[in-house]
Amino acid sequence: MRNLKLTALGALACILLAGCAEKDDIERKVDELLSKMTLREKIGQMHQVSGGADLAEAAAKGEIGSILNCVDPDQINAVQRAAVEQSRLGIPVIVGRDVIHGFRTIFPIPLGLAATFDPELVEQGARVAAVEATASGVRWTFSPMLDIARDPRWGRVAEGSGEDPYLDTQMGVAMVRGYQGDDLADASSMAACIKHFVGYGAVEGGRDYNSTMISERSLRNTYFPAFKACVDAGALTLMTSFNEIDGIPSTGNDFLLRDVLRKEWGFDGMVVTDWNSSGEMIAHGFAKDLKQATEQSVNAGVDMDMMSFGFINFIEELVAEGKIKETTIDDAVRNILRLKFRLGLFDNPYVDASKTRAAAYTPESLEAARRSAAESAILLKNDGGVLPLDDVRTILVTGPMADAPYDQLGTWAFDGEPEHTVTPLAALRERYDVIYEPGLAYSRDRNTADLAKVRAAAARAEAVVVFVGEEAILSGEAHSLSVLNLQGAQSELIAEAAKSGKPVVVVVMAGRPLTIERDLANCDAMLYSFHPGTMGGEALADIIEGKISPSGKTPITFLRDAGQAPFYYNHNNSGRPCNGTETLLEDIPMQAGQTSLGCTSYYLDTGYGPLFPFGYGLSYTTFEYSGIALDSTTLSKDGVLGVEFDLTNTGGRDGVEVVQLYTRDLVGSVVRPVRELKRFERVALAAGETKHLRFEIPVADLAFWTRDMKYEVEPGEFQLWVAGDSASGEPHAFTVE
Ligand code: GLC
């Protein structure tokens, strides 16, 4: 046994030493190359431009370090050949692209991926995306988007993992691992880019690009964790965000880019701006012109400029004027060269175009996309067990999203190909006798002329399945909404279906949680599918017919009304938390006394609670938690909170429950959230099966940034919940001494 241990230790030591040797070797190569470069050549590396073969001439002059938005392997090779074979030092370019939730095979939008609560599957999907994208010559994706989002009016909630830092972290790390793979120099390794650093999801009013006001403590407790975890997981690049925080644009914020990212976290990757986010500091009123914006960006710690053209046009002048030190340029170029050496671009700069198409849509990739779409679907309502529709033959399929191959892919699916999309209509036709009456042509359609056809068709069907939601364009960047109801006449369509008296199933395909309370009242069952991607139809049909039991959980709170935003489960309690005694609008007596309605934190019209809390989702079966027991209720700061319990499938069908563990720090040097997700796990149970489960949470995981801005666990009283969503379960008390 002893020899075995020595062997294992020896092997580990060799691996670590080999890694260090490789790191040193890269640093040596970086320094050696840097020493040969002119200032112009260094500046060229810091310049990223959108385009393809048209950039070959500039690449041949060493004026471009990266291109983005070209996915044609022949054009990429043309630019690369110019850079490698014609420029003086032959430094390859790195090709970037927004591969956000798949390249050719499109997976659910990231908000849907988060709804799976399945990091392993998300990592698998990211790996699929990397294999497909790198086969086209793309070696850098601008993903994962880690922005915590608490306001569904913001269109970019679609691109992230929702409102919770822990879920965001798990999903972000999974994507970094999937994209980058086990060997960065492997041709299928694609550099991740954690974005948008930072706080972009807190834009006021949920209006994209707007101001944010985030304290340093909130940054550290809420917005930093996923970025820090991804840095620790080896993310190779980071992108600055468009927003300003308390008046300082992230692209010019040295506290973020140098103090936190480099000094505190030890990040040795490469920092790129968002698209012209350096130039946008003029509009912010932070720079008087592009030259000053360039000076601010470079001195704040930006390495590469995406499309402002400030770096290529002004850095030489700024260095000559002493406003930027050449050592600062050297540091930036080191980060860029290091990235390119790590990816093996100097040894293998070209892509084999003959293999590009074969890499796409493999059966394994499509199966991963189908599984992801299936696990991302959230069952919000199922009155009377209407779903699954396993006892009917003839169904009416209606709604503008039933056969929308382009919109089903969702936002940021540039390279998806709608002709490969399996729509719900196509998939259901393989399973049922389908009557198809779309009723509306697209999600914003207000023309109700065809609703009569829907009514007539429903009379001939045994059940009605209504596919509604959002066209892809209605979420994503710059697509904020102030009202979150279903667009067009979709609610009228659902109400029309309800008049048929037949069982009505509504399936929502959208890029955000919409305010669907009134639509819920007009259906027996509702499935929510954040734009499910290429295989969404297969996945939804499998669920509708009962082949799969839904297991998705809400990664973001569903509101009753947009006016409740921002609303999130892990909120602070306020001094007057809602206690259920509040009087609602319709119950207010005439001439009610000023203080007679209940002075707590709620809305007279919509009350307090959300429509559905974070972590919520039904199944075709039911689950029961029992025997929850803590190893100990008194713990030291370096202890481990052990909890065991039984989970039973108390229903008649197999199913998967996403078990969630939440804690609460009852009293802190600063107020603390009413719940915080600390663990989750997908647990599969056959009908009637019970599993005994154990979780261990190091007490260190209860640390936070305190009033003194120290990251530590404060002694005191805590509570633990083990439940199927953030609003369920009973608190179990424990103490940290
Ligand atoms: C966009 C987005 C960013 C994206 C970049 C390149 O404006 O903000 O997320 O990666 O530009 O397309």
The identity of residue 81, as a single letter, is R
Cα-Cα end-to-end distance for the chain: 39
The closest-lying atom of ligand 1 relative to the alpha carbon of residue 69 is 12
Does ligand 1 come within 6 angstroms of the Cβ of 227?
no
- Vertex 412: Cα angle to 407 and 418 (nearest 5): 40
Within 8 A by CB and 6+ apart from 4, the residues are none
Tokens at residue 582, please? Answer: 């509040």
Task: Give 194 Cα–ligand 1 centroid separation in angstroms.
Answer: 12
pLDDT of 21 above 80: no
Strands 237-240 and 193-197: parallel
Q: Which residue, 459, 436, 437, 460, is CA-closest to 449? A: 437
Q: Is the CB of 156 under 6 A from ligand 1?
A: no
Q: Which residues face 684 on adjacent strands?
A: 656
Could you tell me the distance, in angstroms and rounded to a whole number, from the CA of residue 306 to the centre of ligand 1?
A: 9
DSSP string, 506-541: EEEEESS----HHHHTT-SEEEEEE---TTHHHHHH
Residues with Cβ within 8 Å of 418's Cβ and at least 6 positions away in sequence, in order, are: 405, 406, 409
Give, for ligand 1, the residue of 239, 275, 276, 412 to mutate: max count of ligand atoms closer than 8 Å to Cβ.
Answer: 275
> What average pLDDT does the segment 215-243 reach?
98
Position in ligand 1 atom list of the atom nearest CA 143: 10
Strand, coil or helix: what is 243? coil
Residue 19 pLDDT exceeds 80? no
The pLDDT value given to residue 150:
98
Q: Is residue 26 predicted with pLDDT exceeding 80?
A: yes
- The finding on whether 140 has its CB within 6 A of some atom of ligand 1 is no
Give the pTM: 0.97
390 is catalytic: no
What's the CA gap between 401 and 423, in Å, rounded?
A: 9
Q: Is the CB of 147 under 6 A from ligand 1?
A: no
Q: Tell me, in angstroms, the distance from the centre of ligand 1 to residue 252's CA.
A: 17
Torsion sign over Cα 247, 252, 257, 258: negative
What distance in Å separates the CA atoms of residue 147 and residue 159, rounded to the nearest whole number?
Answer: 8
Cα 41 from Cα 695, distance rounded (Å): 54
Residue position matching structure tokens 């080999």: 18
What pLDDT, on a 0 to 100 scale, did the predictor assign at position 15?
A: 66
Nearest residue by C-alpha to atom 8 in ligand 1: 274
Identify the pLDDT of residue 20: 73
Residues near 12 by beta carbon (within 8 Å), at least 6 away in sequence: none
pLDDT band at 1 (very low <50, low <70, confident <90, very high): low
Q: Domains (ranges, CATH) in the chain? A: 19-355 (3.20.20.300), 378-545 (3.40.50.1700), 623-736 (2.60.40.10)
How does residue 5 score in pLDDT terms, banded at 50, 70 and 90?
A: low
Cβ(153) – ligand 1 distance below 6 Å: no
Protein residue with least CA distance to atom 11, ligand 1: 275
Question: With the CA atoms of 385, 391, 396 and 402 taken in that order, what torsion angle do they form, in degrees rounded to the nearest 10?
Answer: 70
Q: What's the average model confidence in pLDDT over 678-700?
A: 98
How far, in Å, from the CA of 631 to the mean position of ligand 1? 47
Summarised one tens digit per residue, pLDDT across range 577-589 is 998 889 999 999 9
Exactly one of 118, 147, 168, 274 is catalytic; which is it?
A: 274
Our answer on whether the CB atom of 311 is closer than 6 Å to any ligand 1 atom is no
d(CA 680, CA 661): 6
- Alpha helices (H) in 343-405, listed in sequence order: 363-376
Q: How far apart are CA 724 and CA 733, in angstroms?
A: 19
Which DSSP category does 92 fall into?
A: P
Q: What's the pLDDT at 6? A: 65
Strand 463-469 vs strand 504-510: parallel, antiparallel, or unpaired? parallel
| Cβ of 151 less than 6 Å from ligand 1 | no
Q: Which secondary-structure segment (H or E) carries 644? A: strand 640-649
- In sequence order, which residues have a C-beta less than 8 Å from that of residue 469 and are 6 or more positions away? 401, 443, 486, 490, 507, 508, 509, 510, 514, 529, 531
**How many angstroms is it from 469 CA to the middle of ligand 1?**
24
Q: Coil, helix or strand for 80?
A: helix
Distance CA 293, CA 597 (A): 53
Q: What angle do CA 249, 209, 413 make, to 5 degrees?
A: 120
Cβ–ligand 1 contact at 195 (below 6 Å): yes
Distance CA 398, CA 441 (A): 10
Give the model's confidence band at 2: pLDDT under 50 very low, under 70 low, under 90 confident, else very high. Answer: low
pLDDT tens-digit map of 141-188: 999 999 999 999 999 999 999 999 999 999 999 999 999 999 999 999
Mutate to test the pocket of ligand 1, among 69, 70, 142, 147 (most ligand atoms within 8 A of CB): 142
Report d(CA 217, CA 215) in Å as an integer: 5
CA atoms within 13 A on the CB side of 396: 31
Average pLDDT, integer, range 526-543: 98
> What phi and psi values does residue 337 have, to the nearest 5 degrees?
-65, -40
pLDDT, the chain, mean:
97
pLDDT of 17 higher than 90: no
Cα gap 534→530, rounded to integer Å: 12
User: How many C-beta neighbours within 10 Å does residue 406 have?
Assistant: 15
How many residues appear in the chain? 737
Tokens of 108: 């659910």
* Tokens (6 digits) for 676: 């915080």
Residue 224 has pLDDT above 90, yes or no: yes
- For residue range 635-654, list pLDDT tens digits in order: 999 999 999 999 999 999 99
> Does the structure show a pLDDT above 90 at 11?
no
Q: To which H or E segment does residue 96 belong?
A: strand 94-97
Q: How confident is the model at residue 598 (pLDDT cuts 50, 70, 90)?
A: confident
Nearest residue (by CA) to ligand 1, atom 1, is: 275
**Reported confidence tier of residue 22, pLDDT bands at 50, 70, 90:** confident
For helices 290-300 and 326-342, angle between their N-to-C axes, nearest 10 degrees: 70
Q: Report the alpha-carbon distance of residue 601 to residue 541 in Å, rounded.
A: 42
Residue 97 Cβ < 6 Å to ligand 1: no
